[in-house]
Structure 1
Amino acid sequence: MKILILGGTGAVGKNMVDLLSNTDNEIVITSRTKRESHQNVRYIEGNAKSTLFITNILEEYWDVIIDFMVYTTLEFTERVILLLNATSQYIFLSSARVYANSKGSIKETSPRLLDISTDQEFLSSDEYSLTKARQENLLKESGRSNWTIIRPYITYSSQRLQLGVFEKESWLYRALKRRTIVFASDIHSKLTTMTSGLDVAKGIITIIGNRYTLGETFNITSTRSILWSDVLNIYLNVLENHLGSRPKLLLDNIENFHSYYAAKYQINYDRLFNREFDNSKISKYVNVESFISSENGLKECLEDFLKNPIFKGIDWRAEALKDRRTKEIAKLSEISGFKQKIKYLLYRFLIN
């Protein structure tokens, strides 16, 4: 099969490419940076959100298109038919963040925030959970059925290790610099579900080219949920072994926590919910019991990251506010650029 992957360079996409590179399929991947092609995998450099770029690629017909891109609702509206016309199966990566709060395990038919929320300010936004739900609607209202919707939840890899809403740059960086990890007490006590990017990739691969999955939606998540407090302890145990001492921890109230992290809807309409999922539908195609446990998977990924710890950009405003709360100070030598140093100092000592 000829398979086009749009934006497949994240925690799930990288694993998927590795798995597909050992097959007889022809794999083409779009990437904004130049990458070396190998085996049956070919990279095309360009921005898949560019109308001209994607139109040229979709002049060719694809057996399967797997779309990892994050679009605005308008962007997706302008290209949804173009994508559906260019393939026999369009696999759309949505998100389990679309779901509303639920007391039990969340099924594919469980209510979505878009459908039942009464928060008009929230509904008037293009927040990620609403954007994905609106794009799902566009597929369902397209008059076509050659699509499959995938709803993963929090995925992790050795390069992506989340703690609540924080990426590793917002908590792990602090720990390795021997400053206090700041976390929200309200999130700390909630249940979550974390799934290895490799396992999500395995699940997606099983439905590629399967006509019985057309027009269907699938949760691809771990079977077992875990408390955020337990996730944190997994991280702390690994770090204690690595550093020789256990990192310090401050469980802050949610009001302060909002000042460190501006995406209030992700906190209020996701991380403050207990998140458990029913994955029985996808279990018809992949052995979900073979998915690695969060305990083992997170431990292995963090240990792997610590062998060569490389961080993306640090939010020095947020770091300054956290340091003010913990009465700590970062070394200015850590901070690249004069403007970032000034920002840190202003928020650490002057600006609330």
Structure 2
Amino acid sequence: MNIIKKVIVKNYSKVNAMKNVLLVGGTGAIGQYLSPFLVKEGFTVYITSRSERKSNDKNVIYLQGNGKDLAWLEKLSADYKFISIVDFMMYSSDEFKERYEKLLTLSKQYFFLSSYRALADETAYITEESPRKLDVLDKYPEFSADTYGIRKAEEEELLHNASTQNWTILRPSMTFSRGRFQFGASDNNDVLRTTRGGGIILSDQMINQSTTLVYGKDVALMISKLVDNQRAIGQVFNVVTSESHTWQEVSDIYHKVFGLKLKTVLPNQDYVALTKLEGAMIDRVLSRKFDNSKLLDVTGLKESDFHSLADGLTEAWHETDFERFFMARRNWEYEAKVDFLTDTRQNLDRVSLRSKIIYFDTLAKLGKVDDFYVRESNGYWQASQLDNHLKLHRTKKDSSGPDNRWISLKIGDSIRLKKGFNYLLSLSISSTIETEFTPFFHVRTGSIQSLDRQKINKDDKNQLKINFKANSDDFTDLAFTATDFIESGDLIIESISIDPE
């Protein structure tokens, strides 16, 4: 049960305050929806914006300027006597520490946008009283890597200890809106990939974890009911719905709305290394199910007032500027790596020549060790490049299935086997599992030559020397089968060579 703490704020009076509200930086994922709700509640809404904007509503006024310019905000406050300020600006710890006391003086009610990422792990439902990452760093030092979540909690703490308590702290969860669709560790990237035919990856530590994604329009509705609300003063609110899903379920919903195809589940360490989003991933692997009863009680809203995830995504997608979305800037080196891992190729229509060169050059380097290249990943195997080494990850998929269980390395053009000639195959392999396996050559059309069975030891650098006489001129691939690797684990191939004897 969430308890509303009684906070006494001097000079709080609806009678003496004008019905003016200021949105500082209010043109983003939540702010774009907030002004219509506030106008409906009877407020006049002022919105700061770096660029010049025009309004079609006499009750919505854009003010061009820098929302971090405190002197400018003080002048606006003196001119318009704001009853509430909703602050969407992002501050460094030092910036907020220098200005938070002044910000509290500019209106009757100051809204601070914190984040659900300030919160620590909870196996049960999260409430406003749940511990924050900052509160449990001694027990979970790894949380310090989520610098964003820690910073938000530190800024919350400044407000809790401020000389006046006329603040309301808001903690949105992952929020989507027209033109912005979060999935996995990033914002738009995976839906952008989907529009060009690319496959999607996720971390194995995320796939069965619960998360809460909320439509920005619903968050705006929640905030509008907290503005000029005496019961919201000095209070913290998780501005979320009670709808939660596992990431697997989210991917299924995204498939129905966007056509998104989850193709590959990577070990978490590989996913983090590839996306380079360590801070976000500290949070994404935590359970995120919320109890929003405090919010509903204070606002008078009901769960039925909000969109379901599927309905919200569909509406936001239909309102998106597809041309602008499709042409958004991309990291084409990263895109090539994910295409390699998912065995997909994106549509490069209207992509610059320079970006295409980066994309194809990256693909050419991936899956290569010496003169061998990985053909493709599949449900049994995932391949990734580690500097000059090749990592083959045997997944947990049961190898008794009827589909292809091989991981094939294409033999480079510099190597040509001749039928009847003797060769030495040399392999340098490190492994996280101990097993025996039978390497084999094959032609994509079907002919196979099995080599002598080999044993690899766990955590050793195994130097394998295999003599064989080629029984065909046509071999194109060296391969392993998942049936030899019952346990899930990693093979790091540092070198391969085939030399005539």
TM-score for both structures, normalised by structure 2: 0.63
1:296 corresponds, among 311, 324, 333, to 311
Residue 265 of structure 1 is matched in structure 2 by: 279
Residue 264 of structure 2 is matched in structure 1 by: 250
Q: Is the 8 A contact 1:203 1:286 kept in 2?
A: no
Deviations 1:311-333 (A, max 9, x none): 43222232122123234455665
Supply the distance in 2 between the matched residues of 1:13 and 1:316 (Cα, whole angstroms).
31
Higher mean displacement: 53-62 or 223-232:
53-62
For 2:295, give the aligned amino acid: I
Residue 165 of structure 1 is matched in structure 2 by: 185
Q: Which aligned pairs between 1:183-202 and structure 2 lie closer than 5 A?
A: 183-202=202-221
Say if 2:130 is the partner of 1:110.
Answer: yes
Residues 59 and 78 of structure 1: CA distance in aligned 2, closer, same or farther (over 3 Å): farther
Larger RCO, structures 1/2 (Cα 8 Å, 6+ apart): 1
Any gaps of 5 or more consecutive residues in structure 1?
A: 241-245
Supply the distance in 1 between the matched residues of 2:358 and 2:78 (Cα, whole angstroms).
47
Say if 2:326 is the partner of 1:326.
Answer: no
Aligned-pair distance for 1:23?
A: 4.6
Q: Is the 8 A contact 1:113 1:130 kept in 2?
A: yes
Residue 171 of structure 2 is matched in structure 1 by: 151
For 1:280, give the aligned amino acid: S
Higher helix share: 1
For 2:287, give the aligned amino acid: N
Q: Which aligned pairs between 1:53-64 and structure 2 lie closer than 5 A?
A: 53-60=72-79, 61-64=81-84
Supply the distance in 2 between the matched residues of 1:57 and 1:223 (Cα, whole angstroms).
37
Say if 2:37 is the partner of 1:19.
Answer: yes
Deviations 1:236-290 (A, max 9, x none): 12344xxxxx74622222222113322212112x110111111111111132312
Supply the distance in 1 between the matched residues of 2:215 and 2:349 (Cα, whole angstroms).
35
1:313 corresponds, among 321, 329, 338, to 329
Q: Whose radius of gyration is greater, 1 or 2?
A: 2
Say if 2:291 is the partner of 1:278.
Answer: yes
Q: Which aligned pairs between 1:165-244 and structure 2 lie closer than 5 A?
A: 165-168=185-188, 170-240=189-259
Calculate percent identity across the aligned residue pairs.
Answer: 32
Supply the distance in 2 between the matched residues of 1:105 and 1:133 (Cα, whole angstroms).
19
Supply the distance in 2 between the matched residues of 1:141 and 1:22 (Cα, whole angstroms).
34
Supply the distance in 1 between the matched residues of 2:269 and 2:146 (Cα, whole angstroms).
23
Supply the distance in 2 between the matched residues of 1:104 and 1:282 (Cα, whole angstroms).
18
Higher mean displacement: 329-338 or 287-296:
329-338
Paired residue secondary structure (1:178): coil
Supply the distance in 1 between the matched residues of 2:63 and 2:353 (Cα, whole angstroms).
33
Supply the distance in 2 between the matched residues of 1:25 and 1:4 (Cα, whole angstroms).
10
Deviations 1:42-74 (A, max 9, x none): 111222123454444344432110011111111
Q: Is the 8 A contact 1:179 1:248 kept in 2?
A: no
Deviations 1:94-141 (A, max 9, x none): 111111001101111110001102355753x68211111111111111
Supply the distance in 1 between the matched residues of 2:203 and 2:249 (Cα, whole angstroms).
14
Number of residue pairs matched by the alignment? 343
Aligned-pair distance for 1:171?
A: 1.1
Residues 203 and 98 of structure 1: CA distance in aligned 2, closer, same or farther (over 3 Å): same
Residues 58 and 260 of structure 1: CA distance in aligned 2, closer, same or farther (over 3 Å): farther
2:351 corresponds, among 335, 343, 351, to 335
Q: Is the 8 A contact 1:58 1:83 kept in 2?
A: no
Supply the distance in 1 between the matched residues of 2:352 and 2:99 (Cα, whole angstroms).
39
Q: Is the 8 A contact 2:179 2:320 kept in 1?
A: yes
Q: Is the 8 A contact 1:190 1:274 kept in 2?
A: yes
Supply the distance in 2 between the matched residues of 1:57 and 1:336 (Cα, whole angstroms).
44
Supply the distance in 2 between the matched residues of 1:121 and 1:186 (Cα, whole angstroms).
15
What is the root-mean-square deviation in Å for CA atoms of aligned residues?
2.5
Residues 127 and 248 of structure 1: CA distance in aligned 2, closer, same or farther (over 3 Å): closer
Residues 78 and 247 of structure 1: CA distance in aligned 2, closer, same or farther (over 3 Å): same
Supply the distance in 2 between the matched residues of 1:214 and 1:260 (Cα, whole angstroms).
43
Supply the distance in 2 between the matched residues of 1:337 and 1:133 (Cα, whole angstroms).
45
Paired residue secondary structure (1:30): strand
For 1:95, give the aligned amino acid: S
Supply the distance in 1 between the matched residues of 2:146 and 2:265 (Cα, whole angstroms).
30
Paired residue secondary structure (1:195): strand
Higher mean displacement: 127-136 or 296-305:
296-305
Paired residue secondary structure (2:325): coil
Q: Is the 8 A contact 2:25 2:49 kept in 1?
A: yes
Residues 317 and 122 of structure 1: CA distance in aligned 2, closer, same or farther (over 3 Å): farther
Q: Is the 8 A contact 1:202 1:286 kept in 2?
A: no
Any gaps of 5 or more consecutive residues in structure 2?
A: 1-18, 367-386, 388-501
Residue 243 of structure 1 is matched in structure 2 by: none
Aligned-pair distance for 1:85?
A: 1.0
Deviations 1:132-190 (A, max 9, x none): 1111111111121111111111122232211122222x212222212222222321211
Supply the distance in 1 between the matched residues of 2:346 and 2:308 (Cα, whole angstroms).
35
TM-score for both structures, normalised by structure 1: 0.88
Higher strand share: 2
Say if 2:14 is the partner of 1:2.
Answer: no
Q: Is the 8 A contact 1:58 1:82 kept in 2?
A: no
